[in-house]
Amino acid sequence: MPSTLLTPDSPARQRSQDLLEQFPELAEVPGFPQARVLIEYVLGRRSGELDVSGRATAGSFVDAEVVAELPHEILIVDDAQGLQSRLLSEIAPVRTYNDRIDEAHTLAEVADRTSPIDDLAAFASDRNEVWAIVNAPKATHALAETIAAVQAHVSTVIVIGRSDSMSRAVNKELARGYARVDVSPGVGKHRMIIGSRRLSSPSLPSYPRRGTIDHPATGVLQVRAHGACFSGIKSDEGSTALLTALASETKPAESQPAEAVTGSPNSILDLGCGNGWLLTAAMQVTAAKNGTGVDVSKAAVTSARETAEANGLEVDTILADATDVQALSGGHDLILLNPPFHQGTTIETDTAAGLMATASKLLAPGGQVFTVYNSHLDYRATLERVIGPSEQLARTSKFTVIRSQG
């Protein structure tokens, strides 16, 4: 694939290179190739060298006055490294939104000239040509909710990502709100899918999504999930395994001695609460009085709160990095851990280690931590060292559940 959208003698390409050369320290940072593509696209559109699809206009008439100032404002969604926001803020006013609070902090350090917004659903602009740049999410529902939130104020939506991960579902979601959908040429490993010509009567989905999860320990529970929330309205297998083990320890069989039963906790903390189903279910199973869910994702903490409310419960939700113990308060009798083990396609265990360390500091004396993890990772020794005496409650080829005593 070509390494640029623009021809070698292109004035826009020269302007792009001049801009990028002002920031040589960014050239090796992950995310730089996507940022360069976006710079070329915006400058190419402004000069009339590129059409809406990112292809050469090839002598077609372009009204220079119309395109010269495009876009009037840019909204950038989920710019994890902050490079797009930093570079594009040299061209146009930039507003930013990040679902993950850790990525929002990174962006704020890198791109201090931009204007962050906390709630995408509240986004509005009085400018005529507002473009949204959306970094392609893993979940189609995350993209769908983003488009639904901004469509009324955004004239063009540019979804950018790796070519091999850009499915037809992106085209479909853009077509719900825009009459024209274009796929750009591939540049290196990346490409854009672009929605333009905003529809006056779009067919946009509404959020949160609504569903139910049925578990023998609780029966049917209502679930609410916003687009970027991990696992959506479903229960992931790990959470199901953890709840099953917790229920078996809380509700004994007839032959199980009463002293073997976990006492009713006053406070449950779920570090990485996702859609909140596990926290809600654990509160019902244990008859806990208080529940707190922590997640790095805005979509998750909102979903967790709405899931609890849909089942007649009230929980506290905290938007924070669950490995940052300074952001949280302690004294919890029961802590739930279902740590992630992938960063993209790479197995990583640092997050799990951080969550265990946090749990050890936030656990009340005599409290318990229930952890579920992929069996091949074998975290039991780490749990013993970091939290305290640990025993295996359940194990399959996929998942292991461990109870640790503080």
pLDDT at 346: 44
The pLDDT tens digits of the residues spanning 302-312 come to 999 999 999 99
Alpha-carbon distance values, 208 to 169, 224, 306 (Å): 19, 6, 9
Give the contacts of 26 (CB within 8 A, at least 6 positions apart).
20, 32, 35, 83, 86, 87
pLDDT of 262 above 90: no
pTM over 0.95, yes/no: no
Mean pLDDT of 338-364: 78
Please, are residues 230 and 300 in contact by the beta-carbon 8 Å criterion? yes
pLDDT of 153 above 70: yes
Domain 11-198 classification at class level: alpha beta
For residue 9, what is the DSSP state? T
pLDDT of 261 above 60: no
Please, are residues 29 and 167 in contact by the beta-carbon 8 Å criterion? no
pLDDT at 39: 97
| pLDDT > 90 in the chain, percent | 84
Residues of the chain with CATH 3.40.50.150: 11-198, 209-405
pLDDT of 154 above 60: yes
Alpha-carbon distance values, 109 to 69, 83, 86, 263 (Å): 27, 11, 10, 45
Helices of type H across 311-379: 350-362
Question: Rounded distance, CA 119 to CA 117, Å?
Answer: 6
Model confidence at 344, pLDDT cuts 50, 70, 90, reads very low
pLDDT at 342: 44
Model confidence at 349, pLDDT cuts 50, 70, 90, reads low
Question: Rounded distance, CA 32 to CA 372, Å?
Answer: 36
Give the contacts of 308 (CB within 8 A, at least 6 positions apart).
276, 279, 280, 283, 291, 314, 315
The pLDDT tens digits of the residues spanning 120-137 come to 999 999 998 999 999 999
pLDDT at 68: 80
Look up residue 306 and give its two tokens: 């709405």
Question: Rounded distance, CA 155 to CA 180, Å?
Answer: 11
Model confidence at 62, pLDDT cuts 50, 70, 90, reads confident
Model confidence at 340, pLDDT cuts 50, 70, 90, reads confident
Mean pLDDT of the chain: 92
pLDDT at 58: 79
pLDDT of 236 above 80: yes
Look up residue 323 and give its two tokens: 């490995």
Please, are residues 403 and 370 in contact by the beta-carbon 8 Å criterion? yes
pLDDT of 226 above 50: yes
The pLDDT tens digits of the residues spanning 363-397 come to 999 999 999 999 999 899 999 999 999 999 999 99
The pLDDT tens digits of the residues spanning 276-321 come to 999 999 999 999 999 999 999 999 999 999 999 999 999 999 999 9
pLDDT at 341: 58
Cis peptide before 71 (omega within 30 of 0): yes
pLDDT at 243: 97
pLDDT at 254: 43
pLDDT at 345: 40
The pLDDT tens digits of the residues spanning 48-59 come to 999 999 999 977
The pLDDT tens digits of the residues spanning 2-59 come to 789 999 899 999 999 999 999 999 888 889 999 999 999 999 999 999 999 999 997 7
DSSP H or E run through 281: helix 277-286
Give the residue among 133, 199, 143, 148 at the shortest CA–CA distance from 168. 143
pLDDT at 251: 62
The pLDDT tens digits of the residues spanning 70-99 come to 999 999 999 999 999 999 999 999 999 999
CATH assignment, 209-405 = 3.40.50.150
Give the contacts of 183 (CB within 8 A, at least 6 positions apart).
53, 171, 191, 192, 193, 194
Please, are residues 405 and 390 in contact by the beta-carbon 8 Å criterion? yes
Residue type, 367: G
Model confidence at 259, pLDDT cuts 50, 70, 90, reads very low
Look up residue 124 and give its two tokens: 């509005």
Picking from 176-180, 257-261, 356-360, which range would have the lowest pLDDT averaged per residue? Answer: 257-261
Q: Is 278 exposed, middle or buried (0-12, 13-18, 19+ CB in 10 A)?
A: buried
Please, are residues 375 and 367 in contact by the beta-carbon 8 Å criterion? no
For the chain, the first-to-last Cα distance in angstroms comes to: 56
Q: Is 341 exposed, middle or buried (0-12, 13-18, 19+ CB in 10 A)?
A: middle
Q: Give the DSSP letter string of 230-253.
A: TTTTS--HHHHHHHHHHHHHHS--
* Residue with the two structure tokens 């080829």: 397
